[in-house]
Structure 1
Amino acid sequence: MQLPVTSVQVIGVERVTPRMARITFEADALDHSVGGTPDQQVKLCFPRPGRREPVLPEQRDDVMSWYQAYLAVPEAERPWMRSFTLRRRRAGTRVLEIDFVLHGDAGPASAWAARARSGDRLGMVGPSELYARPVPLTAAVAEADWVLLAGDETALPAVGTLLEALPAGTTVVAFLEVAGEGERQRLDTRADLTEHWLHRDGAVPGGPLTEAVRAAALPGGTPFAWLAGEASAVRALRRHLVGERGLAKEAVDFAGYWRHRLTQDDAPTAEDLADAREKAAGAGG
């Protein structure tokens, strides 16, 4: 499968909250058939210091050959590549909205987003079926009695797309951890949503979220659970739901978006690899 690679240009910047920027891009090229499903991921490529836009290999006939060409770019010029969830794809256009969590200059994506202006350019890999997480929303509605959503601020873009896709009458309970009161967002949905906003207020990331779900009196019946955010918190929640609440493993969709005190450039831990193997096995089964 050919990997879609294009350049995107900033055409708008909005602060959703003090620590969340929604940046609107127009892509040079974009397949109109992709990017409209919930929790659709792309990879953005950020230029190295001193460059106005990233150096990117052209499209290749397969993923591995493109990635090898990417690795062949000299390290001083090779762009940083980070994963993001599309917050919105404007139908019939090449316009995309992506939300960025702003956490200072510790990472290239946050540092870039805090200074983003109209006309700035990045590279984009996707949207593509390769990065689409096939969240079984149909199964969630047809086979489960209710839906559990749990995540931190990095999960909010995906949570927004999931809630917008759920039909009226779906019972949803959402536990959402953010830095503080000012980071709460409005969530639009036709579903019957109960929101629990958890304020970290300096606590270790994931702590308030895991504690709240563990202590919660959840609805009866069989849920479908969707978990995303800091990897160790997601892992702890999944173990709790399967081991202590009795959910079937296949009823829990999970993704560790980031790792406390580690970046995407750091090597995966043994637990990261174990999670990846289990997700791959589940996708194949």
Structure 2
Amino acid sequence: MTTEPTAQTEEPAADAAAEPFRFFRLEVARTERLSPTLLRITFGADGDGSLDGFASGGFDQSLSLFLPHPGQAEPVMPTGPDWFQEYRALDPGVRAVLRSYTVRAQRPGEVDIDFVLHTDPAGPAAQWASEAEPGDWIIALGPAVPDNTGVRFRPPEGTDFVIVAADETALPAAAAILQALPEGQPAKVWIRVPHTDDAIKLDTAADAEITWLTGATGGVVDALRAAELPEGTPYAWLAGEAGMVRELRRQLVRERKFDRRAVAFTGYWRRGASEDQFRYEAEDTDAEG
């Protein structure tokens, strides 16, 4: 992001094929262009009940997708008990492209995932999505139980108002969060998108004030700093470019004195780093503790 959504700070553990995550084969059922930047792909079962047991926890549910490289007909991906070690041992130019995405919606037998289609240049996942046709398939390491670590939006009981601040890479997650908020929940939302036409309709029963921004991601930081926030106990969800997210969190915790536990934050990409560079940096950070 600017690449498409990449890894979200943690690598799946080697035993993640067991509960609460396991492998699913997702077959493209249809595609829908939502805006200049967003493409929705609806995945279904491939006739063998492969979506049985898929249990999205809602909100910002993340999952890992394994996609083919350009020119490959299908992803090269081991799925056995030692899949992670076997995957890492494969040639990076051959093994499946690993990216993290958000479950936008789940219905019986179907899962929607929204892809960001950047073209400067397009990464392998964006290229695959832009060319995807019904019948194409990928592998997902997805949730097998609703309450899992891939859901980060967890406002505690007693939250008086919610803050959502994101860029286009986190727009699918932000949209899912807004749709899941209870009726009348006060929410202040800032979303940066590349084009004005990316300001898609967001369904929500919450009492949400949504501000769309274009231009640099720093505009989200400035907009939040200038905002007058409601009284009461806040909960904030921040996601998108890592530098933007860091500044937003610093502003809320240091300047506005939010409780650190009331700020959920995830860097989806970093300006100046490729998708794979950002993933490797995240892995190294996790390894260092």
Cα offsets for 1:202-233 (capped at 9, x unmatched) = x3xx2111111111122222211110011110
Relative contact order, higher structure (CA 8 A, sep 6+):
2
**Structure 1 residue runs without a partner (length 5+):** 278-285
2:98 counterpart of 1:75: no
Structure 1 partner of 2:8: none
> Aligned partners of 2:22 and 2:252: how far apart in 1?
37
Please tell me whether the aligned partners of residues 239 and 266 of structure 2 are also in contact (alpha carbons under 8 angstroms): yes
2:273 counterpart of 1:273: no
Please tell me whether the aligned partners of residues 65 and 139 of structure 2 are also in contact (alpha carbons under 8 angstroms): yes
**Structure 2 residue runs without a partner (length 5+):** 1-14
Give 4+ residue runs of structure 1 displaced > 6 Å after superposition.
Answer: none
Structure 2 partner of 1:282: none
TM-score by length of 2: 0.84
2:243 counterpart of 1:232: yes
Structure 2 partner of 1:119: 135
Cα 1:240–1:184 change in 2 (3 A) is: same
Specify which structure has the higher proportion of helix.
1
Aligned counterpart for 2:207 among listed residues 189, 192, 211? 192
Structure 2 partner of 1:280: none
Structure 2 partner of 1:263: 274
Please tell me whether the aligned partners of residues 5 and 59 of structure 1 are also in contact (alpha carbons under 8 angstroms): no
Cα 1:70–1:27 change in 2 (3 A) is: farther
Cα offsets for 1:87-123 (capped at 9, x unmatched) = 0111x32x11000111014311111112222222222
Q: State the secondary structure of the residue aligned to 2:34.
A: strand
Q: State the secondary structure of the residue aligned to 2:209.
A: strand
Structure 2 partner of 1:281: none
Cα 1:195–1:76 change in 2 (3 A) is: closer
2:169 counterpart of 1:169: no
TM-score by length of 1: 0.85
RMSD, aligned α-carbons: 2.3
CA drift of 1:134 comes to 4.0
CA drift of 1:35 comes to 1.2
2:27 counterpart of 1:9: yes
CA drift of 1:259 comes to 1.1
> Aligned partners of 2:276 and 2:144: how far apart in 1?
22
Q: Look up the equivalent residue of 2:200 and give its one-letter code.
A: Q
Cα offsets for 1:34-76 (capped at 9, x unmatched) = 114221111111212332111111232xxxx321121123333
Q: State the secondary structure of the residue aligned to 2:143.
A: coil
2:60 counterpart of 1:49: no
Structure 2 partner of 1:20: 38
> Aligned partners of 1:96 and 1:156: how far apart in 2?
17
CA drift of 1:156 comes to 1.3
Please tell me whether the aligned partners of residues 160 and 188 of structure 1 are also in contact (alpha carbons under 8 angstroms): yes
Please tell me whether the aligned partners of residues 36 and 88 of structure 1 are also in contact (alpha carbons under 8 angstroms): no
Q: Look up the equivalent residue of 2:96 and give its one-letter code.
A: P
